[in-house]
Amino acid sequence: MSAENSLVVSLVTAAFNRERTIGQAVESVRHQTYPAIEHIIIDGGSRDNTVRIARAAARKGAIISSEPDDGIYDAFNKGVKRASGDVIGFVHSDDFLAADDVIAKVVNAFADPKVDAVYGDLDYVLADDPSRVLRRWRSGAFERRKLGRGWMPPHPALFLRRRIYERYGYFDTEFDIAADYEFILRIFSQPQFTASYINETFVKMRIGGVSNKSLKNIVKKTSEDLRSLKRHNIGGIYALFIKNLSKTGQFINLRK
């Protein structure tokens, strides 16, 4: 399929003071073999060299803006609203795409016009040595009943048609830590929603996310997860317990 007749994929990167990792994130987008990619980098007004490094590493035509925002989910929303692609995904500033053909595989799965979402797997890696894998998130095929058992795909490895945002809205910025989980519950619980799973690692994520930085954040995330489940009438305490318990399997998967 020629680039002229193919889907355009918009990739959004939100960043704030990430000069140590932004280069690898942006380069992983630039090295993709799939040609029709729009890269949108939303910086929150970094005070270090994040923007300079991003500009130097970005693919030709990348959209880069730098201004204060109201947090990461506000930045996500800004990026999605600026996106012109048929498909939208995220490459977080601490993460990077695991291989040069990730987007090509995603687009191939979107060849079916009925598919609303495509997602893959994620590896957690050591912050200072991203070649060392610490955990593997293998989510498996989507079944709606799994939502009630705390299941979710890894958000950084999730790609959606733009029509999904237009139909169901954006990230709810009332959530400080779990807006991605609330958003996933919102869209995956829709009766006609169709998702395609690719059993391959799409993203490498450095350990040390905001939600696990402190006990206070862990408690807050738990509260927001539970509020998300209640909002969409999915599961409850049981779903939250299974959701957290399932993370132990990510260490077991490490041996495979």
pLDDT at residue number 237: 79
Handedness of CA 91, 96, 97, 100 (dihedral sign): positive
Q: Which residue, among 72, 62, 101, 79, has the nearest Cα to 202 in the 3D structure?
A: 101
Residues paired with 158 in a beta bridge = 119
pLDDT digits (tens, 9 = 90+) for 35-89: 999 999 999 999 999 999 999 999 999 999 999 999 999 999 999 999 999 999 9
Q: How confident is the model at residue 1 (pLDDT cuts 50, 70, 90)?
A: very low
For residue 34, what are its two tokens? 């799939």
Over the chain, what is the mean pLDDT? 91
Please give the Cα distance from 222 to 218 (Å, whole number): 6
Beta strands in the chain (DSSP E): 9-15, 37-43, 63-66, 87-90, 95-97, 117-126, 129-137, 158-161, 195-206
More confident residue, 165 or 239: 165
pLDDT digits (tens, 9 = 90+) for 233-253: 998 777 777 677 666 666 655
* Domain residue extents for the chain: 3-255
Topology (CATH) of 3-255: Spore Coat Polysaccharide Biosynthesis Protein SpsA; Chain A (3.90.550)
Q: What are phi and psi of 238, to 5 degrees?
A: -60, -45
Residue type, 127: A
Please give the Cα distance from 80 to 82 (Å, whole number): 5
pLDDT digits (tens, 9 = 90+) for 79-135: 999 999 999 999 999 999 999 999 999 999 999 999 999 999 999 999 999 999 999
Q: Is the pLDDT of residue 255 over 60?
A: no
Residues paired with 207 in a beta bridge = none
pLDDT at residue number 254: 58
For residue 193, what are its two tokens? 């929603």
pLDDT at residue number 251: 63
Q: Is the pLDDT of residue 229 over 70?
A: yes
Q: What is the pTM of this model?
A: 0.91
Alpha helices by DSSP H, 8-101:
22-30, 50-57, 72-82
